[in-house]
Chain A
Amino acid sequence: MNFLLKKIMKMRPLFEKGGRFEKFHSVFDGFETFIFVPETVTRKGSHVRDHMDMKRTMTVVIIALLPALIFGAWNVGLQHTRAFGLEGWGTFQMFWFGFLKILPLIIVSYGVGLGIEFIAAQMRGHQINEGFLVTGMLIPLIMPVDVPLWMLALSTAFAVIIGKEVFGGTGMNILNPALTARAFLFFSYPGWMTGDKVWIEGLTKGGGLDGFSGATPLALAKLDEFQKMPSAMDMFLGTIPGSVGETSVVAILIGALFLIITGVGSFRIMLSMTLGALGMGLLLNLTGSNEYTQLPAYYHLIMGGFAFGAVFMATDPVSAAQTNTGKWIYGALTGIMVVIIRVFNPAYPEGTMLAILLMNVFAPLIDHYVVNANIRRRLKRIKTT
């Protein structure tokens, strides 16, 4: 490694102020610090710093996403064979088929997003933020597998520029960037984000089996076709049509466990969002009159993007509530909103995305009231003494 380090050290002056490649300083720095944690030592304050940094934090989330990604790839293959009546495919063949379909999505998402991040960092003279490492993986996982790559590129660019960089970059954004990308597609090209074809690779071009429907459980529920819904077990395992990474609750739970153990993801939000949705579902069971309201409450946890949203989206520390009490409230309200949108909104079958984005907007307000309670406690102290 010394050879590599020497090489980098030799190149470094070229990228510094006055060097020939000054314009690429942030990019160079990004790659350098990726390979080597720099030799910077503490100058002020604490003389020692924890080994944990933003790169490792983001890596933890990416590792947590892997089960959903691997399962998603396999499921793309599985759904493809079902739609086209292909027989005799092995597990690995299905995975590889799906993997090759997802790979371009990942490449486009990272390519476009990181490209913009590099430019933004260079313009500000900052180091490159690692935030997009996670966003860039989240975006393909919440897309239909058949989404055209140019749409993906457009929505990613929109999310990074309008959703994040105009606010000042990672840490300053109000909305979750990955969901911003999805919302952009959802409202700009609804034909590619809903319906019963986009969720299965190749189906948009036609040629599926006669009578085969690639509709998601949520779409079926919206159409009152409850008898066609897959079994709860299938929905839990994830062998159903849907966005790439959202279908398998099992795979997502493995990721959730990893996030909770490492302390990187907030169990408060995951738990309260689950309880919120469950509570709202039960309330509808008690009071509702149509078939959708009578759907078992736990179905809301295993249908659509709920689990993925609760574990990977709502927990985004930047756009979620930041105080512990605030997280409980934020999560619960998000869960409640998911069910309300799903059941009562006539236009959109899925409520997770909109519920989280809505609560992202309200998160600072929730925090404001939680912090105010602390302030009142402090003021009360003066009055009592």
Chain B
Amino acid sequence: MPSPIRLRKGLDIKLKGKAEKILLPEIAVTRFGVRFADFEGLTAKPVVKEGDTVKAGTTLFYDKSFPEIKYASPVSGVVKEVVRGDKRFLLEVVIDQEGNEKEIFGAAADPLSLTREQVKVRMLESGLWPVMRQRPYHIVARPSGSPKAIFISAFDTAPLAPDIDFIMANTHGNHLQTGISALTRLTDGKVHLSFDSAGSRVAEVNNLKNVEVHSFTGPHPAGNVGVQIHHIDPVSKGDVVWYIDIQDVVALGRLFATGVYDRERIIALAGEGVLHPKYHRIKPGASVSGILKGNLAEGKFRVISGNILTGKTIGPEGSLGFYDNTVSVIPEGDYSEFFGWALPGFDKFSYWKTFMSKLLPRKEYTLDTNVHGGQRAFVMTGHYEKVLPMDIYPIQLVKAILAEDVELMENLGIYEVAEEDFALCEYIDPSKSEIQEIIRKGINLMIKEMN
């Protein structure tokens, strides 16, 4: 086993309300939804309308720019509504779950016996393709061509993130290896899997075949696949790499082993606003009302699909995001704090050593959604680098994006990054800039320029 890749830069945010390692069975809910905003850069064309009956795996919509990429219904039932916002902007396809009908996409097959084209077609037809994403751009992988490598992150370091080892130990069926085999068909390069060097399933990971394993140690964002790619086989201009969530590798294996679209996964329900933070079996798209029923604390809380650094606000009825493995519930911060900027801050978690909490650390802290200050121009230097374990100058890149200097953005490594890699830069920023949004704007500008 290779020695772990040691990352020193980063920050672990110690938050109250970590999920207890108890797995609860799936709670039945009727409302399922597939949100368009979960897919960056998607121009969707819906193919279902209100009242249509769908099965698990039936195509709901496809990508206008890449019509072969289809997006499937997570369950069987009836299309209740295609929700639109201002200017008929597509928001969500809502499905009323009913029955347990499944589309079948071919017979059971060992992916190693299939050709690259056969593997691709099955993934595309079943609507499972969007689980595959790519750098550059952090978007759904473009199915033409093949990547130089495929990456899987087998641990998550985000605040309140689930323990992936616990999840894998409880995942139904033994499809991980099948999934990895399918991935090997998609690339001429290697399939890389990175795990936490302190994890509990090191032996299982090392028994996997056709995959190169790497171990990492270090604070968040060591678990971000982008950071791992940067240290294993970085993306240079002209390179394309793909990556996939480990639970979706299992779903991929299931597709080849059983022929069905089934993305059942395990998520952590966590945060201070949850009475019983635990692990839940759930399907993406399911309304979180099921797991939150009778489980929300008194007070004003924000329900987030995903982690508190990168997730989306969905409300207590909203749908679990397509890629998310956490539902976080944290207090809203809509209060005024008397001389808040001047207080010693015994109970305030911070990256900065200007709070008493650095001298007298606690195990866990409350973090709310208050911005804690006004937006300013960039002033501080030398700190953003400390939470970004990549050989990239974060503020220089951000400024290149603001100046829309495409060549400089390219030179400074825009192809290697996603907004999630800059989430901590945004968190620690005393100037309160919207760094993640800026990065996304830069990436979208690159997509426009390169096409």
Residue numbers in B under 8 Å from A54 (CB-CB): 373-374, 376, 379, 430-431
Interface residues of A in 23-51 (CB under 8 A from B): 33, 35-42, 44-51
Interface residues of B in 275-318 (CB under 8 A from A): 302, 304, 308-311, 313
Determine if B311 and A39 form an interchain contact, defined as CB atoms under 8 angstroms apart: no
Residue numbers in A under 8 Å from B338 (CB-CB): 1, 4-5, 35-36
Determine if A170 and B376 form an interchain contact, defined as CB atoms under 8 angstroms apart: yes
From B238, B340, B412, B427, contact of A382 by CB (8 A): B238
Determine if B309 and A371 form an interchain contact, defined as CB atoms under 8 angstroms apart: no
Q: Which of B64-72, B107-115, B244-252, B348-356 contacts A (4 or more CB under 8 A)?
A: B348-356
- Rounded to whole angstroms, the CA-CA distance of A120 and B251 in the bound complex is 58
From A46, A51, A266, contact of B310 by CB (8 A): A46
> Is the CB of A169 closer than 8 A to any CB of chain B?
yes
From B234, B238, B430, contact of A50 by CB (8 A): B430
Determine if B336 and A5 form an interchain contact, defined as CB atoms under 8 angstroms apart: yes
Determine if A47 and B308 form an interchain contact, defined as CB atoms under 8 angstroms apart: yes
- Rounded to whole angstroms, the CA-CA distance of A170 and B49 in the bound complex is 54
Determine if A56 and B330 form an interchain contact, defined as CB atoms under 8 angstroms apart: no
Determine if A47 and B330 form an interchain contact, defined as CB atoms under 8 angstroms apart: yes
Chain A proximity mask over B331-345: 1 for CB below 8 Å, otherwise 0 = 011111111111001
Contacts known (A41-B333, A262-B352, A317-B380); A35 close to B429, Cβ less than 8 A: no
Residue numbers in A under 8 Å from B309 (CB-CB): 46-48
Determine if A378 and B411 form an interchain contact, defined as CB atoms under 8 angstroms apart: yes
Determine if A317 and B379 form an interchain contact, defined as CB atoms under 8 angstroms apart: yes
Residue numbers in A under 8 Å from B435 (CB-CB): 45
- Rounded to whole angstroms, the CA-CA distance of A268 and B381 in the bound complex is 12
Determine if B374 and A127 form an interchain contact, defined as CB atoms under 8 angstroms apart: yes
> Is the CB of A122 closer than 8 A to any CB of chain B?
no
Chain B proximity mask over A61-79: 1 for CB below 8 Å, otherwise 0 = 0000000000000000000
Residue numbers in A under 8 Å from B238 (CB-CB): 382
| A64 CB, nearest partner CB in chain B, Å | 11
> Is the CB of A290 closer than 8 A to any CB of chain B?
no
- Rounded to whole angstroms, the CA-CA distance of A378 and B369 in the bound complex is 37
From A40, A53, A324, A377, contact of B430 by CB (8 A): A53
Determine if B340 and A50 form an interchain contact, defined as CB atoms under 8 angstroms apart: no
Residue numbers in A under 8 Å from B428 (CB-CB): 50, 52
Residue numbers in A under 8 Å from B430 (CB-CB): 50, 52-54, 56-57
Residue numbers in A under 8 Å from B353 (CB-CB): 261-263
Q: Which of B171-179, B221-229, B388-396 contacts A (4 or more CB under 8 A)?
A: B388-396
Residue numbers in A under 8 Å from B311 (CB-CB): 47
Determine if A49 and B372 form an interchain contact, defined as CB atoms under 8 angstroms apart: yes
> Is the CB of A323 closer than 8 A to any CB of chain B?
yes
> Is the CB of A264 closer than 8 A to any CB of chain B?
yes
Determine if A46 and B351 form an interchain contact, defined as CB atoms under 8 angstroms apart: no
User: What residue in chain A is nearest B307 (Cβ atoms)?
Assistant: A47
From B328, B335, B339, contact of A39 by CB (8 A): B335
> Is the CB of B163 closer than 8 A to any CB of chain A?
no
Residue numbers in B under 8 Å from A264 (CB-CB): 352, 354, 380
Chain A proximity mask over B98-131: 1 for CB below 8 Å, otherwise 0 = 0000000000000000000000000000000000
| B277 CB, nearest partner CB in chain A, Å | 17
Determine if A56 and B342 form an interchain contact, defined as CB atoms under 8 angstroms apart: yes
Interface residues of B in 424-444 (CB under 8 A from A): 426-432, 434-437
- Rounded to whole angstroms, the CA-CA distance of A381 and B415 in the bound complex is 13
User: What residue in chain B is nearest A29 (Cβ atoms)?
Assistant: B374
From A45, A59, A374, A381, contact of B412 by CB (8 A): A374
- Per DSSP, chain B at the interface is loop
Is the interface on chain A under 10, 10 to 19, 20 to 34, or 35 or more residues? Answer: 35 or more
Interface residues of A in 295-343 (CB under 8 A from B): 317-318, 320, 322-324, 327
Determine if A48 and B369 form an interchain contact, defined as CB atoms under 8 angstroms apart: yes
User: What residue in chain A is nearest B332 (Cβ atoms)?
Assistant: A41
Contacts known (A49-B427, A127-B374); A381 close to B236, Cβ less than 8 A: yes
Residue numbers in A under 8 Å from B382 (CB-CB): 266, 268, 317, 322, 324, 327
Contacts known (A53-B372, A53-B373); A37 close to B310, Cβ less than 8 A: no
User: What residue in chain A is nearest B347 (Cβ atoms)?
Assistant: A51
> Is the CB of A161 closer than 8 A to any CB of chain B?
no
| B292 CB, nearest partner CB in chain A, Å | 17
> Is the CB of A82 closer than 8 A to any CB of chain B?
no
User: What residue in chain B is nearest A41 (Cβ atoms)?
Assistant: B369
| B93 CB, nearest partner CB in chain A, Å | 24
Residue numbers in B under 8 Å from A168 (CB-CB): 377
From B333, B355, B370, B393, contact of A371 by CB (8 A): B393
Residue numbers in B under 8 Å from A50 (CB-CB): 350-352, 372, 427-430
> Is the CB of B368 closer than 8 A to any CB of chain A?
yes
> Is the CB of A129 closer than 8 A to any CB of chain B?
yes
> Is the CB of A171 closer than 8 A to any CB of chain B?
yes
> Is the CB of B28 closer than 8 A to any CB of chain A?
no
Contacts known (A169-B377, A323-B393); A378 close to B332, Cβ less than 8 A: no
User: What residue in chain B is nearest A36 (Cβ atoms)?
Assistant: B336
User: What residue in chain B is nearest A368 (Cβ atoms)?
Assistant: B396
19 sampled A-B residue pairs with Cβ under 8 A: A4-B338, A36-B337, A37-B341, A37-B372, A38-B371, A39-B335, A40-B374, A45-B310, A46-B308, A48-B308, A48-B330, A51-B340, A51-B350, A51-B355, A53-B430, A55-B341, A171-B377, A263-B354, A378-B411
Q: 10 closest pairs, A vs B, by CB? A: A53-B373, A171-B377, A37-B340, A45-B436, A36-B336, A55-B341, A322-B381, A37-B337, A52-B352, A375-B411
Q: A51-B345, A52-B373, A322-B382 given. 18 additional CB < 8 A pairs?
A: A36-B338, A40-B374, A45-B310, A48-B330, A52-B350, A52-B430, A54-B379, A55-B342, A56-B373, A59-B342, A131-B379, A171-B378, A263-B383, A264-B354, A266-B382, A320-B381, A371-B393, A374-B393
Q: Which residues of B contact A (CB under 8 A)?
A: 13, 159, 234, 236-238, 302, 304, 308-311, 313, 328, 330, 332-342, 345, 348-355, 367-383, 385, 391-393, 395-396, 411-413, 419, 423, 426-432, 434-437
